[in-house]
Amino acid sequence: MARTTYSSVLSELLKLLERYAPGIHITEDSQYGADLALPSVEVMDLVNEIEDHFEVTIPLNDIPSLNTVGMTARYLTDLLGGDKTS
């Protein structure tokens, strides 16, 4: 990613999620369990993939607070020191 913005992180995150929820319309407000029907094992696989893709480490105690795709994108943008306004 050339420039770290909320929009760019969200876009990359949505691409990663396509594998986990094929055929489901995913938005910022999509919840991993309720909307995307991801079991906890797949959520952990997704977290590992996110960590590898963005080259970050997400502490286990932070994961429960990342309920939606948008919350995760904001968290990653902040972690990467990016601009959350664009």
Domains of the chain in sequence order: 15-21+30-79 (1.10.1200.10)
pLDDT value at residue 1 = 43
> What sign has the CA pseudo-torsion 7, 47, 36, 29?
negative
List, run by run, the mean pLDDT of 10-residue segments along the chain (86 residues): 81 95 95 94 95 96 95 96 69
- pTM of the complete model: 0.89
Q: How far apart are the two ends of the chain, measured CA to CA in Å?
A: 14
